[in-house]
Amino acid sequence: MSLFAQYRDVVLMAVASRVDAGELPPGLPLERISVEPPRDPAHGDIATNAAMVLAGAAKMAPRALAERLIGDLATASGVSAASIAGPGFINLRLKPEIWRAEVSAILRAGIAYGASAIGGGEPVNVEYVSANPTGPMHVGHGRGAVVGDALASLLEKAGYRVTREYYVNDAGAQVAALARSLYARYLVAVGARPDGHFATLLAEGAVAYGGDYLIEAAQALAARDGSQWVDAAEDAWLPALRDFAVERMMALIEADLAAVGIRFDVTASERALVAGGGVDEAVALLAERGLLYTGVLEPPKGKLPDDWEPRPQTLFRATQFGDEVDRPLRKSDGSWTYFAADLAYHLDKFRRGFRTMIDVWGADHGGYVKRMQAGVNALTGGAGALDVKLCQLVTLLDGGEPVRMSKRAGTFVTLREVVDRVGRDVFRFIMLTRKNDAPLEFDFQTVTEQSKDNPVFYVQYAHARCCSVMRHAEATLGAAAATDAALAAAPLDRLADPAELDLIRAMAGWPRVIEAAAEAHEPHRIAFFLQELAALFHLLWTRGKEDTELRFLNPDDEALTLARLALVRATAIVIASGLNVIGVNPVEELR
């Protein structure tokens, strides 16, 4: 339990004892009480809004209510002072040994420090990337991949049972178009058409996917199947080529993702879902609940599609669940819309035991959120909840100049190109330096330079400095004295400098960051926490440069040295713990 959770209990006990004593009425809204670090550290170590949030129900002035509570709080274990401030805040000052004990706790917990049980083992499904299997990943996909993966790790750290999932859209028109593009490449590969044939088709718009990656795929297809498809009818070759292409593209995508250290527990296929009758089942369920009807939609406002014509179709009553219009489930050719299949897919997730589902999408899918949430709401009878994290665009720059698009990939700069250039750790960290709904600028020059302009480096450098100190310590004191177990028993009361206590307080906040970020589904908070923690460590380091008394290694005072080594080691552990959640390897040396 985090320190703040512990003191929340202390506050609750103080309230309960005043209720027992008849000084406060029963039935107060205790859930509104928060216990957190005050924004201004000068106010104390721990602040609670208890008096203010209970004032209404207790029919008392906040400060008067605070007076009732403060006696119990001032004498609570570990509290050195309690005061009432401002509109009715109660500020607690903790004895320094409470903070110091946190250093031992970190050393004993190791990289697991910060783990929480608030998830209570509840299953959560995080679906991310889910790019069409039509080509290599581009950087935009990479952002969603990192956000989803870090969010999944974050939730695991907070005690949820997480499934990482990829939904393969292998049933729609996109993959048919992919198969046609592959066929055109194939005809060239087996020599049935001249070299320029593909370029001509592409220019005419007869094929959709012009990326070079289909050349290799076509050669592989030719090697496997020879020229058997050359004179075949489309009906004959399309299914075979589609399967071949999807399999090939998924291998490509999985390799790209592996380069960023991302893997999935479950890969769900849209085609398998449709073939297995999942869509019929979901649609039947909606029909059963009276949520389907046949109707004609108004034409969309704004840009009207060229071939718009009103026609009756099967509609889902999404408007009953907060959507703007009712949504079609069938295309004019009788097949299911993507939305229908996605409904079935989310119903499937729910039936697999996930009441909480999180989808990470690109911002261009923003218009799709309400209908999907409406669908989940309808299909689960309100028991399932879908949260959608929309990732805004990534703009690639090089020294402030926009990066030109790559021909090889078709249109976009590939994820692989970027990761090969900057490394997976840099890529992952930078992708979390903005909240997901803000656009992100990714400048090759900035993210690879070694200065404090580069947040990845800045955090890594703090960790490397910690490791450097430990290496020096081991050289003089011996490895046995510098183990985590040995340091946990160091005389921590020697840590008395305000800058040292500031660092400890920040580290003690790590469990809170995990819990708050997990509840908000916001992995970027970890990156910001790490930057703050690194800053505090760099500050302390430089103080030691200026004032020999504050140096970590003090040859004349071994007890003091051990206490400070405990602090340094704890810092390294918390940084590593944070980097671990976002999937970045902490480095031990930067040379």
Restricting to residues 501-530, name those near RNA by CB under 7 A.
512, 516, 519-520, 522, 524-525, 528
The CA distance from 143 to 131, in Å, is: 12
Torsion-angle region of 129 (φ positive above 0: left; ψ -120 to 50: alpha; else: beta): left
Q: How far is the CB of 463 from RNA (least distance, A)?
A: 9
Instruction: Write the interaction track for RNA spanning residues 350-369; mark x where CB under 7 A is met and - where it is not.
Output: -------------xxxxxxx
By CB under 7 A, the residues from 111 to 140 that bind RNA are 132
By CB under 7 A, the residues from 239 to 278 that bind RNA are 270
Stretch binding RNA (CB under 7 A), from 16-24, 148-156, 466-474, 477-485: 466-474
Give the binding-site size for RNA (rule: CB under 7 A). Answer: 105
571 binds RNA (CB under 7 A): no
393 binds RNA (CB under 7 A): yes
By CB under 7 A, the residues from 539 to 558 that bind RNA are 539-546, 548, 550-553
CA angle 16, 17, 21 (to 5 degrees): 115
59 binds RNA (CB under 7 A): no
Q: How far is the CB of 225 from RNA (least distance, A)?
A: 26
Return the residue of 28, 47, 129, 431 that touches RNA, per CB under 7 A: 47
The CA distance from 345 to 124, in Å, is: 15
DSSP string, 485-530: HHHHTS-GGG---HHHHHHHHHHHTHHHHHHHHHHHT-THHHHHHH
By CB under 7 A, the residues from 418 to 447 that bind RNA are 434-435, 437-441
Contact 391, 359 (CB under 8 A): no
Stretch binding RNA (CB under 7 A), from 196-204, 257-265, 347-355, 462-470: 462-470
Q: How far is the CB of 377 from RNA (least distance, A)?
A: 16
Helices 369-379 and 338-351 meet at what angle, rounded to 10?
50
The CA distance from 589 to 537, in Å, is: 16
The CA distance from 248 to 220, in Å, is: 10
Pick the closer one to RNA by CB: 225 or 497.
497
Stretch binding RNA (CB under 7 A), from 18-26, 102-110, 212-220, 323-331: 323-331
Helices (H), 360-454: 369-379, 415-422, 424-431, 444-448
Amino acid at 452: K
193 binds RNA (CB under 7 A): no
Strand order in the sheet with 327-328: 292-295, 313-316, 327-328
Cβ neighbours for 518, distance < 8 A, ≥ 6 positions apart:
116, 118, 119, 154, 155, 157, 158, 160
Return the residue of 195, 204, 288, 307 that touches RNA, per CB under 7 A: 307
By CB under 7 A, the residues from 131 to 190 that bind RNA are 132, 169, 171-174
Pick the closer one to RNA by CB: 229 or 356.
356
Pick the closer one to RNA by CB: 222 or 513.
513
Q: How far is the CB of 163 from RNA (least distance, A)?
A: 21
The CA distance from 184 to 176, in Å, is: 13
